[in-house]
Structure 1
Amino acid sequence: MFTGIVQGVATIEEALAQPGLTTFRVRFPAENLDAVTIGASVALNGTCLTVTRQQDDCLFFDAMQETLRLTTLGDLKPGDKVNFERAARIGDEIGGHLLSGHIHTTATIVEIERPENNCTLHFEVPQAWARYIFPKGYIAINGASLTIGDVLGNRFNVHLIPETLRATIFSAARVGDRVNIEIDSQTQTIVDTLARLGYDRPAG
């Protein structure tokens, strides 16, 4: 389980493609590796992965074909930066909202506004997932818990403060970039329950 509060930015050192999976060697800030154990869960751009090995300041992860298909991890190459969060522990402050680290879909950045001391990112999601996106609702984008701004059809935006830009990879975002999306589980449950009762929300 994760909180959606990104703990820092890590660097992809190597992405080794093998039959059925890709092994990533990822370099982390040394201060974020305290008490890491083999088998621990770490979210990279919101995707829950399992630590398979540690070498100095690098952790190794295996991503299966299905994970690569459903997320943006298959696009990663050496030198790329990723948001990371280590799994939450009992007693940790939940500053964002609870996340599973299981990605539902991806979205594409279609517009970026950068007024002074602000940044607004506009996204487009597949039509089928628009039903779960509401103004002022929660969403996780590349593992960061964010509040949805405006929604129009299958497009929505989020407003980022300077601290979010400093602590994540969003400061380097470009139009056309793909991002991982995890829909808020409570929102999904409510929408699906209402749909089963005949109160379906149009997908458009």
Structure 2
Amino acid sequence: MYTGIVQAVRPLADVTAYAGGKTFTVRFTDEQLEGLKLGASVNIEGVCLSVTGISGNNVTFDAMNATLERTNLGALEAGNDVNVERSAKMTDENGGHVIAGHIATTAALEEIRIADDGALIRFRVPEEWAKYIFPRGFLAVNGCSLTVAEVDDNLFTINLIPETLRQTTFCRYTAGDRLNIEVDHQTMVLVDVIERTVTRVLPGLVAKG
């Protein structure tokens, strides 16, 4: 479990491809390494990955081809920065919302507008996922807990305060890039239950009419 509050932006020291996927080496700070063990779950750019190696401050993660295809990790290169969040403890304060690091889909970034007082990002998700996103609803974008400001069909707008820009990787993204999207799980369950209920009830009502 994660909170969607990015703890640090860290550089990718290396990206190595192998037959079934890629190995990502992220350079952690001393503070981030505290208590970190092999097999621990870490949120990297919104994706829950397991620690496969620790050598000094370099921490490695493996991502299979299926993960690379479903997320934007496949586009990352050595030297890029990534959002990092260690898994949350039950006693930790949750300043964002509960996220799992399981990416639902990727969104095409259509616009990012950066100003002194913050930024605006607009992105488009596939139609089948748009039904789970609502104005003022929670959304995890690249592992960052954010609130949706505007909705226009499957085009969504989010406003970022300067502190969010400083603490995340959004500044390096440009129009055309893909963003990792995790929809709120409770919202998804609620929408699916309502859809199934309406589908079962409506045919009965039509038949009675």
Whether these two folds match at TM > 0.5 is yes
Shift in Å at residue 115 of structure 1? 3.8
Shift in Å at residue 198 of structure 1? 1.3
Q: Which residue of 1 aligns with 2:85?
A: 85
Q: For the residues of structure 1 that align with 2:166 and 2:115, how far apart are their CA atoms? A: 16
Q: Which residue of 2 aligns with 1:69?
A: 69
Q: For the residues of structure 2 that align with 1:14 and 1:133, how far apart are their CA atoms? A: 35
Could you tell me whether the CA contact under 8 Å between 2:118 and 2:165 is conserved in 1?
Answer: no
Residue identity matched to 1:140: A
Q: For the residues of structure 1 that align with 2:170 and 2:164, how far apart are their CA atoms? A: 8
Q: Which residue of 2 aligns with 1:47?
A: 47
Shift in Å at residue 113 of structure 1? 2.4
Shift in Å at residue 114 of structure 1? 2.8
Q: Which runs of 4+ in 1 moved over 4 A?
A: none
Residue identity matched to 1:153: D
Q: Which residue of 2 aligns with 1:202?
A: none
Shift in Å at residue 150 of structure 1? 0.3
Shift in Å at residue 70 of structure 1? 0.6
1:13-52 → structure 2 map (5 Å cutoff): 13-52=13-52
Number of corresponding residues = 200
Q: Which residue of 2 aligns with 1:136?
A: 136
Shift in Å at residue 12 of structure 1? 1.2
Give unpaired runs (5+ residues) of structure 1.
Answer: 200-204
Q: Which residue of 1 aligns with 2:3?
A: 3
Q: Which residue of 2 aligns with 1:123?
A: 123
Residue identity matched to 2:25: R
Q: Which residue of 1 aligns with 2:110?
A: 110
Q: For the residues of structure 1 that align with 2:110 and 2:164, how far apart are their CA atoms? A: 20
**Structure possessing the higher radius of gyration over alpha carbons:** 2
Q: Relative to structure 2, which stretch is displaced further, 138-147 or 169-178?
A: 169-178
Could you tell me whether the CA contact under 8 Å between 1:9 and 1:28 is conserved in 2?
Answer: no
Sequence identity (%): 47
Shift in Å at residue 103 of structure 1? 0.5
Could you tell me whether the CA contact under 8 Å between 2:106 and 2:181 is conserved in 1?
Answer: yes
Shift in Å at residue 69 of structure 1? 1.0
Residue identity matched to 2:26: V
Could you tell me whether the CA contact under 8 Å between 2:13 and 2:25 is conserved in 1?
Answer: yes
Q: Which residue of 1 aligns with 2:99?
A: 99
SS at match of 2:149: strand
- Post-superposition Cα deviations, 1:153-192, rounded to whole Å, max 9, x if no partner, equal 1100111001101100112331112110000001101100
Q: Which residue of 1 aligns with 2:207?
A: none
Q: For the residues of structure 2 that align with 1:97 and 1:56, how far apart are their CA atoms? A: 32
Could you tell me whether the CA contact under 8 Å between 2:116 and 2:162 is conserved in 1?
Answer: no
**TM-score under structure 2 length normalisation:** 0.92
Shift in Å at residue 31 of structure 1? 2.2
Shift in Å at residue 29 of structure 1? 2.4
Residue identity matched to 2:41: S
